[in-house]
Chains A and B, each alone.
Chain A
Amino acid sequence: MSEVEIVVRLDVMLARRKMRSRELAERIGITEANLSLLKSGKVKGIRFETLAAICAVLDCQPGDLLEAIPRES
């Protein structure tokens, strides 16, 4: 297993942009349930298409949404 894990900071960006999850989900074309899974990090991965759509709507970079942190042993 990798020593680093990817943490999703989408909730932080949503708070900064004062946007609700439902609105973001509607604008990028995924279900609110899937967006919730993404926020909690309970997904296997994110498609570039989805990542690009989120960055466009939230006016941010992928690095604002994803952070690599050392995995707790």
Chain B
Amino acid sequence: MNDNREEGVVVTRNVWKIFGSRADEAMEAVRRDNLSKAEVLEQFGAVVGVKDVSISVGEGEIFCIMGLSGSGKSTLVRHINRLIEPTGGDILINGANVGQLNAEELRAMRADKIGMVFQNMALLPHRTVRDNVALSLELRNVDAYTRAQVADRVIELVSLQGYGDRLPSELSGGMQQRVGLARAMAADPDILLMDEPFSALDPLIRRVLQDEFLDLSKSMNKTTLFITHDLDEAIRMGNRIAIMKDGEIVQVGTPEDIVTKPADDYVADFVAGISKLKLLYAHTVMEPLEAYEQRKGPIPQAEAPVAEPDDDLDKLIALSVNQDHPVLIKSDGNVVGVVSKDAILHGVQGEA
């Protein structure tokens, strides 16, 4: 069991989900004959929702799962609190197998350990904001006084102080989703499951909420699985990103990995439209000083602008504007490389 703990807080091992009345038969056939999705549909009339997914999310990490609609990302995340039962494979939370919990243990785990935020908020329309936020506590039979105390504290955390006695319908979409977030955090769970939480909001509000969530998440150190169909959002939010397509995970990596080394054409297509300004760093685009000087002659080091190896493209561009010389990259006072304007332009295009 201890080995599992080291793997990560949330671990899925070869999770499969096949929908249909003959799902189990289909699962066996897939294991035996390694059938494709289309073959499963044809032979068993069953749809493969999640295909052999193994991920491991570490403590405090924000793990983004990105994919288009129908790629199985929402299905996958619902396996973690067992809103959906896997057809095959295991889900471990802190090393404990979720599939082996009985009904009461499962409810306790959902209430205490896992908070969930939904795309459509899914607030209870007949309850005030405070009662919505305190839902998970109420379901665990916490007394009303404690509930109100906790709820008010969390409401303040999402900057909704003063709205505790309103009904959800009186709030704007962005505020409603803050309530959703507060509800997920009220029981102080270790794990947050965010199912496209900001997708239904307009771009400005979305950005504000993203920033707020990042701040909160830094201070509260929650393990987060963040579902999105927006690569920009995934890159902003995620420590790591998993890209899903047709129920399968195509690539897992840091945002920079994904942008600079897309695993296949599908990912490359996605990445093509992404701004690299904040994703590429000087150490990726720079070349050795000697190589540069061989081609272009020596650089007057006193006049050239200077940057650090982990400054991003954005900064390099700012330094290069109105400048005849390339940017020198110095680490601890020593020149470690040079970034020419050509290198910056290539970087903007994504050709590091």
- A joins B in a complex: no
Chain B residues engaging chain A, CB cutoff 8 angstroms: none
